[in-house]
Amino acid sequence: MNTDVFITCALTGAGDTVDKSDKVPVTPEQIANDAIEAAKAGAAIAHIHVRDIETGQGNRDPELFRETVARIRDSDTDVIINLTTGMGGDFVPDPDDPTKLAEGSDMASAEDRVIHIEELLPEICSLDVATMNFTHGAFMNVPQVLRVMADRIKAAGVKPELECFDLGHVRLANQLIKEGHIAEPPLFQLCMGVPWGAPSDPESVIAMRNLLPENAMWSGFGISRMQMPMAAQMVILGGNVRVGLEDNLYLSRGVLASNGQLVERAVDIVENLGARVMTPAETREKLGLTQQH
């Protein structure tokens, strides 16, 4: 069991959730405000996507990241900023010609997918060590793209959070570490219950955890109704916790949550298990981060 736990709040994601909850932040101001709210509730890390202001759909416009990060930094709130690099890998094949991209696709070069990281220098950024199927298409991050992204992230002095959705993703991440693309000690995020990756159950978490390098630091989450049960499992199994509206919209059946409320619930779980919630400063020291701004 982990007795000193840091909490990450994944604020908004890129999924089709805006029409399902009016609490999902969309604008840079809303996302920044939710990061501040989550930090006050006990989150050490804010994991940040941005969205198109007009449509609410996921976006990777550097200007949106720029404004969101500036608002958080200008607030003087002590929270570790973790920016996504996940956008730019969505492939939906045209049903009449699978060699062509259909609506919903968003494919970008490795360089374009990390341009906001190199400019804004967050302390952490996600790196999805995954190519996997989703409901309507696939997310593609093939090894040669991952190597380029990882090298540029490393050169920028940003710590990658290695997002693993299945057992093979951990194996690939370990290979990237072995090849020197990832600075040690590595940081992993075990992503459970996402279609069609590893399920949200203790056995799957244990199998993935047991493949991690000995010096790895790790966190994990479950989606939807399994968010809080998996938060408890992560602590019991020795990891840290992620919650937030990217992964789950509800506080209880039929009751929509805010990011702050989800963090508060996670804090209660951690403390009721007899563990302690770490501050951003303590988390920064644990992860060996150098605050950029």
Contact present, 15 and 287 (Cβ < 8 Å): no
For residue 127, the enclosing domain spans 4-287
pLDDT of residue 61: 95
Tokens encoding 86: 């996940």
Could you give the CA distance from residue 263 to residue 77 in angstroms, rounded to a whole number? 16
- Any residues with CB less than 8 A from the CB of 251 and at least 6 apart, and which? 257, 261, 262, 265
pLDDT of residue 102: 87
Residue holding tokens 């997310």?
139
β-partners of residue 243 are 9
User: Is 54 inside any structural domain?
Assistant: yes
- Any residues with CB less than 8 A from the CB of 274 and at least 6 apart, and which? 1, 3
Q: Which residues of the chain have pLDDT under 50?
A: 293
User: Is 273 inside any structural domain?
Assistant: yes
For the whole model, what pTM was predicted?
0.96
Report residue 25: phi and psi, to 5°: -70, 140
Give the total number of structural domains in the chain.
Answer: 1
User: Is 293 inside any structural domain?
Assistant: no
Contact present, 127 and 110 (Cβ < 8 Å): no
Tokens encoding 56: 């609410």
Degrees, nearest 5: CA angle 258-263-269: 130
Q: Which of 97, 93, 73, 94 is nearest to 83 (CA)?
A: 73
User: Is 224 inside any structural domain?
Assistant: yes
User: Is 169 inside any structural domain?
Assistant: yes
pLDDT of residue 264: 98
User: Is 132 inside any structural domain?
Assistant: yes
Classified as helix, coil or strand, 92 is coil
User: Is 174 inside any structural domain?
Assistant: yes
Contact present, 230 and 192 (Cβ < 8 Å): yes
User: Is 64 inside any structural domain?
Assistant: yes
Tokens encoding 24: 């999902």
Tokens encoding 68: 């969101």
C-alpha dihedral (57, 63, 68, 74), degrees to nearest 10 = -170
Classified as helix, coil or strand, 107 is strand
Contact present, 17 and 291 (Cβ < 8 Å): no
CATH of the domain at 154: 3.20.20.70
Alpha helices in 162-242 (DSSP H): 167-178, 202-209, 227-236
